[in-house]
Amino acid sequence: MSDYRIQGATGDWEVVIGLEIHAQVTSNAKLFSGASTEFGAEPNSQVSLVDAAMPGMLPTINGECVRQAVRTGLAIGAEINKYSVFDRKNYFYADLPQGYQISQFKHPIVGHGTVTVDLESGGTKEIGVERIHLEQDAGKSMHDQHPQYTYVDLNRSGVALMEIVSDPDMRSPEEAGAYVTKIRTILRYIGSCDGNMEQGSMRADVNVSVRRVGDPLGTRCEIKNVNSVRFVRQAVEIEARRQVDIIEDGGTIDQETRLFDPVKAETRSMRSKEEAHDYRYFPDPDLLPLEFDDAFIEAARDSLPELPDAKKARFMEALGLNDYNASVLVAEQVSAAYFETLVTAVAKATGKSEADVAVKASNWLTCDLFGALNKAGISITETPVSAEQGAGLLALIEDGTISGRIAKDVFEIMFETGKDAADIVEEKGLKQVSDTGAIDAIIDEIIAANPGQLAQYRAGKDKLIGFFVGQVMKATQGQANPGVVNKLLKPKLDG
């Protein structure tokens, strides 16, 4: 249970959030036409006569979009409806060429499912998904290109969207953000949407209402087209505060559509109440009901990869990772894949079991590599150090060739040059010195050079052993095997 509360003048308020996420289905062609879905083309170049709603043009459905919607439903454990219907949602807008959007109203392709979101507290929460339906995207209007005209580009018109409608199960900005993040992760895992929020392939309509804890639901406002996780959180926070202020001032909330302005940090009304929507939904007579059989569903199920929740559980149970590392690694499929390649390669190189090397590998990956990537501002897909190379480095530590400290230096060079760890160690002569004769001589030199410290040590200041280890390591530029140093140093100091 979230204990997120908005402190009002009259007491605490709970926020209730439901989300409608529009996710662009990954497909080559549009939902009902053969035009391309590629991003960033010349205006109106990816438009068929169907998308432009020329008289007499008719929709024909892209089977891949159906398959991806079914896969998405299966990925959230949802009911799959073998019979669904496309409806027309009628309204006028410049970028809606048909004067209606083909969507699914009464009979969506996917029914109720569930998503488990990871919270910052380390816990999880189940968020219900009411339904997923397939629909067409609209075109794009540009209002700032000409003083008198709005310019319309229909390239997006007809691109397939999945509208993923949640139950009103979220109770804090964090939960809303975590839900969007999790949906995005799942979509990216299964490849049904690229999850690219900057390019608009995923965007959320956020429904927000407030109430006293335990009261029935309040009137909600829908904040349209929020296009980042951060904005989702901000929009919830700002809108909830707005509603609380109104109610506490004795006002009431109008159910309406609002727009989030991140610059002004406010939400504002989009359409007047008078224009209350009346979409006049009815089944699209140009299309027949959408039907498929169990075999189709099973084939879609078989095509699903291991999903993030299952992967995380496996990382924790079979490989011993902690919750944090496991969560970080499964958040992106490429990270998880990197990790799995890394662990396999380290285990192979060292002859140890994967479970024995996994924790160290996960620490190195989440701290060292992710840290470096972060600092360089690049993603794991662009990493200069491959999983095989990372494994090379970890194997050198594991078999005692280099120390953990040296490894940090080696990694830095690997990250800059892309070279293999073994080559760098060889070139720079960074192999750990475990030769007792050589270390013996250095120890003797250091003891001789520090009679004062030796005396204090022998007088009972045991901690000074650290000083002597440090001096030896410094003299060997870190290459001395610390275990060997400790073993040799103690008897000499003790005399």
Q: Indicate the residue whose CB is closest to Zn ion.
A: 163
Which residues ranging from 197 to 226 are in contact with Mg ion (CB under 5 A)? 205
C-beta separation of 366 from 328 below 8 A: yes
Smaller CB distance to other proteins: residue 44 or 434?
A: 44
Which of 9, 146, 250, 463 touches other proteins (CB under 8 A)? 146
Asked whether position 137 contacts Zn ion by CB under 5 A, the answer is: no
Binding mask 215-244 for Zn ion (x = CB under 5 A): ------------------------------
Q: Which two tokens stand for residue 167?
A: 């139950």
Q: How far apart are CA 23 and CA 193, in angstroms?
A: 6
Asked whether position 256 contacts Mg ion by CB under 5 A, the answer is: no
Which of 29, 178, 240, 472 touches other proteins (CB under 8 A)? 29
What is the closest distance, in whole angstroms, from the C-beta atom of residue 278 to other proteins in the complex? Answer: 5
Smaller CB distance to Zn ion: residue 225 or 322?
A: 225
Asked whether position 153 contacts Zn ion by CB under 5 A, the answer is: no
Smaller CB distance to other proteins: residue 47 or 190?
A: 47
- How many CB atoms are located within 10 Å of the residue 325 CB? 23
Beta strands 124-136 and 113-118 are: antiparallel
Binding mask 245-274 for other proteins (x = CB under 8 A): --------------x----------x----
Residues whose CB falls within 8 Å of the CB of residue 72, separated by 6 or more in sequence, listed in order? 23, 110, 132, 162, 164, 186, 187, 190, 192, 193
Which of 11, 114, 142, 371 touches other proteins (CB under 8 A)? 142
Q: How far apart are CA 152 and CA 140, in angstroms?
A: 6
Q: How far apart are CA 109 and CA 165, in angstroms?
A: 12
Asked whether position 62 contacts other proteins by CB under 8 A, the answer is: yes
Asked whether position 380 contacts other proteins by CB under 8 A, the answer is: no
Asked whether position 130 contacts Zn ion by CB under 5 A, the answer is: no
Q: What's the Cα-to-Cα distance from 34 to each of 47, 283, 291, 315, rounded to whole Å?
A: 9, 22, 21, 42
Q: How far apart are CA 122 and CA 135, in angstroms?
A: 36
Which residues ranging from 93 to 112 are in contact with other proteins (CB under 8 A)? 94, 97-100
Phi/psi of residue 117, nearest 5 degrees: -105, 150
- How many CB atoms are located within 10 Å of the residue 300 CB? 22
Whose CA is closest to 70, among 143, 132, 135, 153? 132
Asked whether position 57 contacts other proteins by CB under 8 A, the answer is: yes
Number of residues lying near other proteins (CB under 8 A) = 67
The piece of 2-10, 44-52, 169-177, 364-372 that touches other proteins (CB under 8 A) is: 44-52
C-beta separation of 259 from 268 below 8 A: yes
Residues whose CB falls within 8 Å of the CB of residue 65, separated by 6 or more in sequence, listed in order? 25, 27, 31, 134, 160
Asked whether position 332 contacts Zn ion by CB under 5 A, the answer is: no
Asked whether position 128 contacts other proteins by CB under 8 A, the answer is: no
Q: What's the Cα-to-Cα distance from 486 to each of 219, 434, 449, rounded to whole Å?
A: 70, 11, 18
Asked whether position 163 contacts Zn ion by CB under 5 A, the answer is: yes
Could you say which of Zn ion, Mg ion, other proteins, none residue 33 binds, taking C-beta under 5 to 8 angstroms by partner kind? other proteins
Smaller CB distance to Mg ion: residue 205 or 420?
A: 205
What is the closest distance, in whole angstroms, from the C-beta atom of residue 137 to other proteins in the complex? Answer: 15
C-beta separation of 166 from 19 below 8 A: yes
Asked whether position 154 contacts other proteins by CB under 8 A, the answer is: yes
Q: What's the Cα-to-Cα distance from 100 to each of 46, 49, 88, rounded to whole Å?
A: 20, 16, 6
Smaller CB distance to other proteins: residue 287 or 413?
A: 287
CA of residue 134 relative to chain centroid, distance? 23
Q: How far apart are CA 417 and CA 396, in angstroms?
A: 18
Residues whose CB falls within 8 Å of the CB of residue 131, separated by 6 or more in sequence, listed in order? 108, 110, 111, 112, 165
Asked whether position 47 contacts other proteins by CB under 8 A, the answer is: yes
CA of residue 362 relative to chain centroid, distance? 18
Could you say which of other proteins, Zn ion, Mg ion, none residue 252 binds, taking C-beta under 5 to 8 angstroms by partner kind? none
**Dihedral angle computed from the Cα positions of residues 368, 407, 342 and 330, in that order, rounded to the nearest 10 degrees:** -10
Asked whether position 423 contacts Mg ion by CB under 5 A, the answer is: no
Which residues ranging from 170 to 189 are in contact with other proteins (CB under 8 A)? none
What is the closest distance, in whole angstroms, from the C-beta atom of residue 132 to Zn ion in the complex? Answer: 11
Which string of b and e fits 185-198 if b means at least 16 CB within 10 Å? Answer: bbbbbbebbbbebe
What is the closest distance, in whole angstroms, from the C-beta atom of residue 148 to other proteins in the complex? Answer: 6
Could you say which of other proteins, Mg ion, Zn ion, none residue 278 binds, taking C-beta under 5 to 8 angstroms by partner kind? other proteins
Asked whether position 316 contacts other proteins by CB under 8 A, the answer is: no
Smaller CB distance to other proteins: residue 80 or 430?
A: 80
Asked whether position 20 contacts Mg ion by CB under 5 A, the answer is: yes
Smaller CB distance to Zn ion: residue 163 or 332?
A: 163
Smaller CB distance to Mg ion: residue 20 or 356?
A: 20
What is the closest distance, in whole angstroms, from the C-beta atom of residue 1 to other proteins in the complex? Answer: 37
Q: Which two tokens stand for residue 308?
A: 């993030």
Which residue ranges make up the site for other proteins (CB under 8 A)? 27-29, 33-36, 42-50, 52-66, 85, 88, 90, 92, 94, 97-100, 141-143, 145-154, 259, 270, 278, 280-283, 285-291
Interaction site with Mg ion (CB under 5 A): 20, 205
Residues that bind Zn ion (CB under 5 A): 163
